[in-house]
Amino acid sequence: MAPKGFLKTVIAEKKKDIARAMGHCSLNRQRRDAEARKPGASFLSAMEKSGPGRAGIIAEIKKASPSKGDIRLDLDPARYAKKYTRAGACAISILTEEHFFKGSLHDLTAVRRVTDLPILRKDFTISEYQIYEAGAAGADAVLLIVSILSRQQLQEYVALTREIGMEPLVEIHSEWELENALYANAKIIGINNRNLETLKTDTTVAARVVPFLTKDQIPVSASGVSGPDDIQKGMDAGLFNFLVGESIVRANDTEKFIHDLISTGNTGTSQRLETPRIKVCGLTRPHEAVACADLGAHAVGLVFYPKSPRHVTTAQAAEICRALPGDIITTGVFVDATFEFIMAKVKACNLKAVQLHGNESPETVLQLKSQGLTVFKALFAGKEPHIDKANQYKAASAILVEYGKGPLPGGNAETWDWGTAKQSGNGHKLIIAGGITPENVTGVISATSPWAVDVSSGVESAPGCKDLDRVKGLIQAVKTSPSGR
């Protein structure tokens, strides 16, 4: 898809910048200089060092931005880089884009002289020329933004960056861009909380996208981090590296500010998220939904299927979504609804995900994903569409499996031989559903090693009314389960 909004504008300028730069210094010369670069500090190792009890801060040199205008135009990059180094930042990011961020490649060369920390060249990379240019200037990493590159280009640029001895930070803004990152074999995934087309920032994006990364991808939460609270929230969600620009540049005491960010992570309370995620489905009341989120649920399901006893109206669903914190994956559940019907509910309620519980085609899954939505496709062990069709639904964010014999498309409280799902769904992120209760969930997890569990009737006092003690019991059981993964 062609970039829109700010991205379109910045890329038009970028093309001219590259043509101009090539006039001064040929591609061959940049390549030679890049290939002759001495290996510097490893950006990848710096990211790998962070973890529970240890937040990694990539501190950014950012003089201005298109959304905030001038931030600190007189910022001396070398002086700031020294402060960042002293304060314990794990890497330095330098915006070299000239027109909107008022940076330059000179900023990077100036910083290279005063620090041994790995340096990320932050720019809108659309040509191999810029990758060589970054290497020649002394960078250890470059930014590759998924939404402005074709699948092929991304793959080539990742490989090229590594050939020169650098590592790319591959940036996404929604879960559906992850597929290209995976295809390109990206290791470090920047999850930008800011939408680069609209420049709107939502600091809950990274926490929502991070569960979808593979185990060997390292997430970096980027943009909008304004203080220790954001670091704590990120760490609770399994994010341990943070790219921070504006708030560091604006801080009165730069070193103290960075220090405070890092030490937030030192409490050691956050653990890597290895237990399955929890989706509580069939909510009808805002206060119950909020309570589920407070208790530690990751996703909630709102049923838009009129025949279900847990069916909600658009107004009810919108109210529930408004009440929930932004890092909750609000999921609309649909049965053979049209694309238009689904999108109308997505817009009205600001849903983050959709669950397709009927005979929806793989194309429908793709169509919804390309809207930036997370898509869960339900398949069944006891009826069609059968779980053995999982391979046709590779585009789905995860496959929800249940047995499927009861009168309703979900929430029939039927238990089944969950272990059968594991074999047929091999290689997919599986959400196990159907008859799960606080009492049996540990067994379900050990039988299926699921990516997530989905509960509805097992934590209810009546259809649509959640028994919060049971929700609590279930979440506790999941969080203390040997994950089996």
Ligand X SMILES: O=P(O)(O)OC[C@@H](O)[C@@H](O)c1c[nH]c2ccccc12
Contact residues: ligand X, CB under 6 A = 60, 62, 122, 171, 192, 222-225, 243-247
User: By C-beta, is 265 or 434 nearer to ligand X?
Assistant: 265
Give the containing element (helix H, strand E) for 432: strand 430-433
- Residue 220's alpha-carbon distances to 57, 66, 156, 206, 419, in angstroms, are 9, 22, 22, 8, 34
Contacts of 468 (CB under 8 A, 6+ apart): 288, 291, 292, 295
52: exposed, middle or buried (C-beta count within 10 Å: 0-12, 13-18, 19+)? Answer: middle
Q: Which residue, 250 or 285, is less far from ligand X as judged by CB? A: 250
Residue 328 CB, nearest distance to ligand X (Å)?
22
Task: Provide the minimum distance between the beta carbon of 119 and ligand X in the complex, in angstroms, as a whole number.
Answer: 15
Residue holding tokens 């983050």?
352
Rounded Cα–Cα distance for residues 59 and 51 (Å):
17
Least gap, CB of 255 to ligand X (angstroms) = 17
Nearer to ligand X, 222 or 431 (CB): 222
In the block, tokens 């002086």 appear at 79
Cβ closer to ligand X: 196 or 459? 196
Distance in Å, CB of 466 to ligand X, minimum: 37
User: Closest separation between CB of residue 222 and ligand X, Å?
Assistant: 3
If the CB atoms of residues 162 and 250 are measured against ligand X, the closer one turns out to be 250
Other C-beta atoms within 10 Å of 205: how many? 25
In angstroms, what is the minimal distance from the CB of 171 to ligand X?
6
DSSP string, 52-99: TTB-EEEEEE-SEETTTEES-TT--HHHHHHHHHHHT-SEEEEE--SS
Residue 122 or 233 with smaller CB distance to ligand X: 122
Q: Which is nearer to ligand X, 154 or 243 (CB)?
A: 243
Which C-beta is closer to ligand X: that of 63 or that of 345?
Answer: 63
The C-alpha atoms of residue 147 and residue 172 are separated, in whole angstroms, by 7
Q: Are strands 460-462 and 465-466 parallel, antiparallel or unpaired?
A: antiparallel
One DSSP character per residue, 138-185 reads T-SEEEEEGGGS-HHHHHHHHHHHHHTT-EEEEEESSGGGHHHHHHTT
CB of 124 to ligand X, least distance (A): 6
Which residue has the closest beta carbon to ligand X? 245
Tokens of 108: 């990077």
For residue 66, the minimal CB distance to ligand X (Å) is 9
- Among residues 177 and 246, whose Cβ is nearest to ligand X? 246
- Shortest distance, position 248 Cβ to ligand X, whole Å: 7
Q: How far apart are CA 127 and CA 134, in angstroms?
A: 11
